[in-house]
Amino acid sequence: MTKPVRSIALALLLFCWSATAGPKPFVFTAIPDDNETRLRERFDKVAVYLGKSLGLEVKYLPVKTYAASVTAFKNNQVQMAWFGGLSGLQARLAVPGSKAIVQGEEDKQFVTYFIANAKTGLKESAEFPRAIVGKTFTFGAKDSTSGRLMPEYFIRQALGRAPEEIFERVGFSGDHSKTIALVESGAYDVGAVNFTVWDLQTREHKVDPTKVIVLWKTPTFQDYQFTVRGDVDPQYGQGFTAKLTQTLLDMNDPDLLASFPRKRFIPAKNEDYTTLQTVAKSIGLLD
């Protein structure tokens, strides 16, 4: 076989291979707002569901930090992510054209719980608990919406000062499960925690009500959402974003929904997070 013929044969082979290989795996991640075991259980099942529904290989890529989830999205290591409100804003600003596509029904009116160690003597309050002044306080992750952004906003709104000027000591636990554990143990007097994590761990009897209580529930705000990169249709085929969105909206397996935990998913759009963006800018967590 002559060299030109061999070259043509190789080109045809590569063309046939590329035509049958299909698109690359669709990869998604999620902010590490809970312990790694629970996250893997949740999102590995979601990957299986998405793969079957979309007809392609879907993988879940775990990350160690909120910032890492945004970086993976920016670098196209993942094409979609389950973000909190703030991390979603960061990701969409980093990748123009990206879209918030669905959120949990609960995410339209999300709340943070301020929790307190029972030994502090603090009691549940309908109003902002001013008695937390001078206590030790832990947020969740530094880029968490429910664990840092909104609790800090409400603290500043009520007391007119930064947390470091109000509390004896301020910490960042890294995730909501750790916040509960730190307050329950007495390592911190008070903490800010995602209400869905608190409610789930309470139902699973992982919280000792004799040691830690819900002190205050914040006003509602917008939070979690699935955000997808704006270039997925060219990568996976025309109409892929619409198909992906509908697949998430059609997720009705009680086991899958309970692992989030969410009752159901509803449509979301970038404009839903305009107020949150203003809040984040006002306290210096977003440029």
Are residues 168 and 196 located together in one domain of the fold? yes
Give helix 176-185 / helix 195-203 axis angle, nearest 10°: 70
Among 217, 239, 262, give the residue marking a domain's end.
Answer: 217
Are residues 115 and 212 located together in one domain of the fold? yes
pLDDT at 97 over 80: yes
Sequence-ordered strand ranges (E) for 77-132 = 80-83, 99-104, 112-117
Are residues 209 and 256 located together in one domain of the fold? no
Helix ranges, 62-194 (H): 66-74, 85-94, 150-159, 163-166, 176-185
Of the candidates 65, 58, 45, the one whose C-alpha atom is nearest the C-alpha of residue 228 is: 58
Residue 162 near residue 129 (C-beta atoms within 8 A): no
pLDDT digits (tens, 9 = 90+) for 229-266: 999 999 999 999 999 999 999 999 998 898 788 999 99
Q: What is the mean pLDDT of residues 179-203?
A: 96
**Number of domains into which the chain is organized:** 2
Q: How confident is the model at residue 284 (pLDDT cuts 50, 70, 90)?
A: very high
According to the model, what pLDDT value does residue 12 have? Answer: 42
**Is 250 part of any domain?**
yes
Are residues 116 and 213 located together in one domain of the fold? yes
* Strand pairing report for 190-194 and 112-117: antiparallel
Q: Which two tokens stand for residue 74?
A: 């920016």
According to the model, what pLDDT value does residue 39 have? Answer: 87
According to the model, what pLDDT value does residue 2 have? Answer: 54
Are residues 230 and 211 located together in one domain of the fold? no
Cβ-count burial of 138 within 10 angstroms (0-12 exposed, 13-18 middle, 19+ buried)? buried
Are residues 124 and 189 located together in one domain of the fold? yes
According to the model, what pLDDT value does residue 122 have? Answer: 97
pLDDT digits (tens, 9 = 90+) for 138-176: 999 999 999 999 999 999 999 999 999 999 999 999 999
- Nearest-angstrom CA–CA distance, 172 and 147: 9
Among 217, 250, 271, give the residue marking a domain's end.
Answer: 217
* Structural domain for 28, as ranges: 3-107+222-282
Are residues 250 and 179 located together in one domain of the fold? no
pTM: 0.87
Residue 242 near residue 250 (C-beta atoms within 8 A): no
Q: How confident is the model at residue 16 (pLDDT cuts 50, 70, 90)?
A: very low
Q: In CATH, what number is assigned to the domain containing residue 50? A: 3.40.190.10
Q: What is the mean pLDDT of residues 85-90?
A: 97
- Nearest-angstrom CA–CA distance, 52 and 44: 13
- Nearest-angstrom CA–CA distance, 218 and 166: 18
According to the model, what pLDDT value does residue 22 have? Answer: 60
Are residues 92 and 233 located together in one domain of the fold? yes
Among 166, 195, 217, give the residue marking a domain's end.
Answer: 217
